[in-house]
Amino acid sequence: MIGLNNKKVTKPDRRLPGRVALAVTLAATSAAQADDQNWLTKDWEISGYARQYLSWNLENPTLIGPGPNGLDGVQEGDYRGDLSMVRTVGKLNIFRDFGAVRFKTTGRVSREASTSYLDDVQDVADAWARTGGAPESSVDLIDDSYNDEELREFWLQGDLTDSLNLKIGRQQVVWGETDFFQLMDVIHGYDFRWRSFLEPENEELRKPLNMVNLTQRFDDAGGSLQLIYIPGRLNDEEDRGNSYDVEGGRWANQPNRGVPFATAPFGANVRYNYHHPDADMDDDSYGLRWNGLAGDWGYSLAWFHGPNPNPVANPNPATNNTAPELFLGAYEGTYEGGPAEAGEFIYPYIDVFGVSANNYFPSLDVVFSTELAYIPEAPYNAGIQSNSQGRGCGFFPGFCGIEEKNLFRSMFRIDKQVDLTGVLGTSRPSFLSVQVFNNWIADFDKSEQLVNTAGFSGDTKEFSSIVTAILAANYANDQINPSLAVGSDLTYGGGFVIPSVEFVYGDHIRVRLEADIFFDREEQDRPLQDFNDTNLFGYFAGNDQFVARLTYQF
């Protein structure tokens, strides 16, 4: 046909409506077929963040190399104000709800840039390795401790019946009412090497595990029963238990920055042994938790069998010939490939029995929460004195053996909305939380000389308590959010003050500024010598920090 532009008039094609209808029908059919064929590639939810950390020293950390004059004849430097961390993190979440089954995978990549301060810490670590380290014991802090690529989540979840739910794969499971100091939150370990316990989102520090997570609802009883099964051989051994900075990095306990435990002098090397007969990470872990309601109270009853969250030092009898009878009950193990020297770090398997409860009291406008845990045969290191002081039974305090004690732990917390709008000018009521943590060793015996941390001679008390409080406020319609966290060790002395503020810019940008300030009653001045009564907050001496964190979330 010739169109109108060619000056020829034609009759309308009466078949056109039918052809259009046919085309629409074919297009709809094709789209439906494509929709069926591409069901795997649609409706995915993608989220994540790009994050930049910067931190500066607010005081001068101790850095002392081997020898009487420090590293290569240089005395301690002045690192106050120096940049201590330049860390870049990217995280990607991919989620899809298929209807009957839900799927999620999360990956995270972390990279650190060197700083002049971190270079000096590395130089000190290398010097210790040259002086007395075991073969192949040198540590590259950035590559070995800070940089990582990790699959954080990879799971499928679905209902097997109307009341039975299964979640299987790599995931995190949090039990209890608190995870500041672990009571029932013992399923996973935490990686405290790059920033200790200070990260506000604790899921960033928690180590995920491959597991089977089965939950059966009992609607008539108003509760649910959860079963956790963790196959040991399907998880990396380093993913179990808490990881502390024993490599001598920026969060090593005072005064051990730059002193890797694996390169300690005079053959006193201490490494991890993940395959001790009583602490074999190939062994499975499992637990049960009942979660229910009793009137206005929410409560849970739980039991978990798995590795002790914190490692303990297992001395080796081969190099402790002077060990007294106290040592006879110690675990006896060796490294893979050879005997231990001063000892080894192990995670003995324990049982944790716990109860939690919470309730809202409208007359006081407070939420009360509590958590109680009983750990029979909890492992403690023993021996306050050390051979380096000319007496004792081990190279370091605590290296006289392991004693098993019956430990009761408790937490009591009150959460309350506090109206400070008239006092501080906030845009809405503020949030206040006060927590008290207690430990009681039921079969305590002072003559056993229990220590809180191997390598330090702070002796353990029968009763000990820590109190913490957090006040969070909001300004400018939640665009400016300051908070203040404080804590005090009522038994061993010391505490912390952490002021912070987070700025919110739209849906994507978050800026957090924070100062981490620690106080202590006693700190150790020199590595591997002159041991004194150093306890929890003495370990953090010299670690006052100012931290800036920029996050772009999507």
Rounded Cα distance, 303 and 213, in Å: 14
- Domain extent, residue 407, equals 43-553
**Least confident span in 29-38, 144-153, 306-315:** 29-38
**Least confident span in 15-24, 97-106, 490-499:** 15-24
Nearest one of 213, 202, 145 to 179, comparing CA atoms? 202
Model pTM score: 0.85
Average pLDDT over residues 472-491: 96
Which has more confidence, 392 or 453?
453
What's the number of domains the chain is made of? Answer: 1
Which has more confidence, 83 or 328?
83
* Residues shown for the chain: 554
In a domain, 7, yes or no: no
**pLDDT tens, 298-328?**
999 999 999 999 999 888 644 433 333 333 3
Q: How much is the pLDDT for 259?
A: 82
Q: How much is the pLDDT for 128?
A: 79
Question: Cα-flanking dihedrals φ and ψ of residue 444, to 5°?
Answer: -65, 140
Nearest one of 447, 450, 368 to 407, comparing CA atoms? 450
Average pLDDT over residues 353-380: 96
Average pLDDT over residues 230-238: 96
Question: H-helix or E-strand containing 117?
Answer: helix 116-132
The answer to whether the peptide bond before residue 429 is cis (omega within 30 degrees of 0) is no
In a domain, 6, yes or no: no
Rounded Cα distance, 384 and 533, in Å: 9
**Least confident span in 128-142, 213-227, 398-412, 475-489:** 128-142
Rounded Cα distance, 21 and 23, in Å: 5
**pLDDT tens, 153-207?**
999 999 999 999 999 999 999 998 876 787 899 999 999 999 988 898 999 999 9
**Least confident span in 37-41, 284-288, 506-510:** 37-41
> How many Cα atoms occupy the beta-carbon half-sphere of 428 within 13 Å?
10
Q: How much is the pLDDT for 176?
A: 83
Average pLDDT over residues 360-365: 95
Q: Is the pLDDT of residue 535 over 60?
A: yes
**pLDDT tens, 107-132?**
999 999 999 999 999 988 888 777 76
Average pLDDT over the chain reads: 84
In a domain, 530, yes or no: yes
Average pLDDT over residues 253-282: 79
Average pLDDT over residues 373-383: 94
In a domain, 332, yes or no: yes
**pLDDT tens, 331-350?**
333 333 333 356 788 999 99
Which has more confidence, 408 or 18?
408
In a domain, 547, yes or no: yes
Q: Is the pLDDT of residue 73 over 70?
A: no
Show Cβ contacts of residue 203 under 8 Å, excluding neighbours closer than 6 positions: 172
**Least confident span in 182-186, 355-359, 479-483:** 182-186
In a domain, 9, yes or no: no
Q: How much is the pLDDT for 37?
A: 54
Q: Report the CATH number that the domain containing residue 519 is assigned in CATH.
A: 2.40.160.10
Q: Are the C-beta atoms of 191 and 199 separated by less than 8 Å? A: no
Q: Is the pLDDT of residue 428 over 80?
A: yes
In a domain, 35, yes or no: no
Average pLDDT over residues 352-377: 96
Q: How much is the pLDDT for 21?
A: 45
Which has more confidence, 65 or 307?
307
In a domain, 397, yes or no: yes
* DSSP-assigned beta bridge partners for residue 335: 338
